[in-house]
Amino acid sequence: MASAKLIVMFPQPKNVEEFERLYREQHKLLVEKMGNDSLLVEAKIVASPMGPMPHYRITEIHFPTREALETCLRSPGGQQAVLQAIRISTGGVPVFLIGEEQTVSFRMEKSS
């Protein structure tokens, strides 16, 4: 069975410093309490070859199964974390996606 992840894409905030403070002090703590078997991966968008992007930060919360993810989202803690993500997102409503993850390993060949 494939693992699953909740992807939250936050738009550019109106006030970056305030967003980061709320994200770090409130939202991240809620997310970390969501599940024992989850992994949190965060990315701050700094550049794109396509030019300016509408998203400021992308957060991925990994779960062993889609069922575990959905159970977490239905829990009071999961619902509280989703509402908090919406509250701190001053640049608009964040995008929430559920993805099934597959991992493929590959090696880059050395150029001669």
Domain total for the chain?
A: 1
Whole-number pLDDT of residue 36: 60
Any domain includes 106: no
Q: CA-CA distance, 40 to 31, in Å (whole number)?
A: 8
Residue 107 — pLDDT band, cuts 50, 70, 90?
confident
Any domain includes 110: no
Q: Is the separation of the CB atoms in 85 and 27 below 8 Å?
A: yes
pLDDT tens for 11-57 read 999 999 999 999 888 877 777 666 666 788 999 999 999 998 999 99
Any domain includes 14: yes
Any domain includes 108: no
End-to-end CA distance of the chain: 40
Domain containing residue 50:
3-101
CATH number at residue 89: 3.30.70.100
